[in-house]
């Protein structure tokens, strides 16, 4: 197996034991990027400095990490895959980047493609064009962290960071056959993440296996005084949860996730995965999350309202692109008209409408009340169960262009992931099988707030007793 195909923990072991050299790893990784990037298009920038790579004395020994293009990296272009942030170079690092540098990670211009401002479920809304799914180049990789997931799946990256507002880590991880974790809201600092919806956004890892996810989550988690929503709790060593023992665990199967609309092949793969967990000693019973049907409308009211507010700052004065004009007001208008893509404009209009006078109570305030009901569904479920298991998405990866003309159909791609963000709980996607057309399917595991250890315990036990995570796309 080539070095670029190994996990981060396998590479660190080989480097420590002198069974691999930093130079050989560089050649393997960069050679892979040169060979397959023209097909996958996972990156908007992919440069590695051979002279400085692996020179860090930190525990990660300079191991490169791929970063979604909405996470600020000091001095390196961070454009959120939008024309309106063209050539923006942040003057500071996001907290997660500062933590990675402190741990010795190699931070290079390895910036992954994404939907503009994370608005999408397919990575087709990028200013730089779409990314392809490594398992089928005619299919989407999922979104909005599709570039990060595709880079890891195609072995163009060792591991990566994404962001998850409504499923944007878990859904592309599922579509690309890799591991993706959305941490508890408040566990990982959002300082330096270019905001989509501030009450929903979370940064998280996308990796080749569960152990790498546990290592990376430990590094990026923890209290940050720069983020007022950061929670001051101790961060466990998540690798201690990788015991391969789930005997007696109580698993809830939400009946609302297996109704009309789910692809029958996906349903069969998920049911087989649940049987595997039961064979390992877990006990499963049905559970009801009765307000699940309201998750999509509530999400698209709350998320668009917050997005319209967050994007008001991009007016051509302080950041990125500025349209040429004879006066200030016209410059504002032209900059936003020319700088934002269609999906960004759609969400700004929706968000401005639901926050407008006369409609705030009817839409936004009511959505917040239903959001509380959705959270209470999970609170009740976790009083009886250790975790909840469900599909990540009702379908496997769909064709590029298949849903671009139907925004509502695109929004429904996240129907099984959105509730997690509204409730603020953690969830992970782990590879659990394939469709007959060879497209990956992900198993979603959800736990109560700040119980990421439970996710790693269950996901690792499943992974160690299956082979799905070891399969590679043929590129």
Q: Report how far apart, in Å, the C-alpha atoms of 392 and of each of 141, 174, 254, 290, 395 are.
A: 14, 7, 12, 18, 9
d(CA 49, CA 114): 23
DSSP 235-290: PP-GGGG--S--TT-EEEEEGGGSSTTS-HHHHHHHHHHHHHHHHTT-EEEEE--T
Nearest to 205 by CA among 162, 241, 174: 162
Q: Phi/psi zone of residue 49: left (φ > 0), alpha (ψ -120 to 50 degrees), beta? A: beta
Contact call for residues 393 and 175 (beta carbons, < 8 A): yes
Contact call for residues 127 and 44 (beta carbons, < 8 A): no
Instruction: Give residues with Cβ within 8 angstroms of 234, minimum separation 6.
Output: none
Q: Where are the alpha helices (DSSP H) in 358-473?
A: 366-382, 407-411, 418-423, 452-464
Instruction: Give residues with Cβ within 8 angstroms of 462, minimum separation 6.
Output: 273, 276, 277, 280, 430, 432, 443
Task: Tell me the torsion sign for CA atoms 39, 415, 164, 243.
Answer: negative
Q: Is 180 helix (H, G, I), strand (E, B) or coil?
A: strand
d(CA 240, CA 127): 41
What does residue 355 show for φ and ψ, rounded to 5 degrees?
A: -95, -5
Residues with catalytic function: 68, 144, 168
Contact call for residues 105 and 97 (beta carbons, < 8 A): no
Q: Provide the edge-to-edge strand list for the sheet that holds 250-254.
A: 43-46, 110-112, 66-68, 160-164, 202-207, 179-182, 427-434, 440-446, 387-391, 250-254, 283-287
Q: Residue 333 CB: number of other CB atoms within 10 A?
A: 14
Contact call for residues 415 and 293 (beta carbons, < 8 A): no
d(CA 25, CA 4): 7
Question: 322: which 2 tokens?
Answer: 């500025």
Residue carrying structure tokens 């290592």: 215
């Amino acid at each position: 197996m080539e070095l670029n195909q190994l996990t981060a923990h396998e590479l660190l072991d080989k480097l420590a034991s002198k069974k691999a050299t930093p130079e050989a790893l560089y050649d393997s990784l960069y050679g892979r990027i040169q060979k397959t990037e023209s097909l996958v298009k996972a990156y908007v920038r992919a440069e590695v400095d051979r002279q400085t790579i692996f020179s860090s004395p930190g525990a990660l020994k300079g191991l490169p990490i791929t970063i979604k293009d909405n996470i600020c990296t000091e001095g390196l272009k961070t454009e959120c895959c939008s024309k309106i942030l063209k050539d923006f170079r942040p003057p500071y690092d996001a907290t997660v980047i500062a933590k990675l540098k402190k741990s010795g990670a190699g931070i290079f211009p390895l910036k992954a493609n994404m939907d503009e401002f994370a608005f999408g479920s397919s990575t087709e809304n990028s200013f730089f064009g779409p990314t392809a799914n490594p398992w089928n180049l005619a299919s989407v990789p999922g979104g909005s962290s599709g570039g990060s997931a595709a880079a890891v799946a195609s072995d163009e990256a060792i591991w990566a960071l994404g962001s998850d507002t409504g499923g944007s880590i878990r859904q592309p991880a599922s579509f690309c056959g890799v591991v993706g974790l959305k941490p508890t809201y408040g566990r990982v600092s959002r300082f330096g993440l270019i905001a989509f919806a501030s009450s929903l956004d979370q940064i998280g890892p996308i990796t080749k296996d569960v152990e790498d996810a546990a290592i990376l989550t430990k590094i990026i988690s923890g209290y940050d005084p720069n983020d007022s929503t950061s929670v001051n709790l101790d961060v466990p060593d998540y690798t201690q949860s990788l015991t391969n023992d789930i005997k007696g665990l109580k698993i809830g199967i939400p009946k609302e996730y297996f109704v009309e609309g789910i692809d029958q092949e996906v349903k069969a793969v998920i049911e087989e995965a649940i049987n595997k967990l039961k064979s390992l000693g877990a006990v499963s019973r049905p559970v009801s999350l009765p307000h699940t049907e309201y998750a999509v409308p509530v999400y698209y009211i709350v998320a668009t309202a917050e997005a319209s507010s967050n994007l008001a700052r991009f007016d051509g004065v302080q950041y990125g692109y500025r349209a040429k004009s004879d006066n200030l007001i016209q410059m504002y208008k032209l900059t936003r008209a020319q700088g934002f893509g269609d999906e960004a404009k759609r969400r700004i209009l929706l968000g401005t409408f639901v926050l407008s006078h006369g409609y705030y109570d009817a839409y936004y305030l009511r959505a917040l009340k239903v959001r509380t009901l959705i959270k209470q569904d999970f609170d009740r479920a976790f009083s009886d169960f250790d975790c909840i298991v469900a599909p990540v998405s009702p379908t496997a990866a769909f064709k590029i262009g298949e849903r671009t003309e139907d925004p509502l159909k695109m929004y429904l791609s996240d129907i099984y992931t959105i509730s997690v963000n509204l409730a603020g709980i953690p969830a992970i996607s782990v590879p659990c099988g394939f469709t007959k057309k060879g497209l990956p399917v992900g198993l979603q595991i959800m736990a109560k707030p700040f119980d990421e250890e439970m996710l790693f315990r269950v996901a690792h036990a499943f992974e160690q007793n299956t082979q799905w995570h070891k399969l590679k796309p043929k590129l």
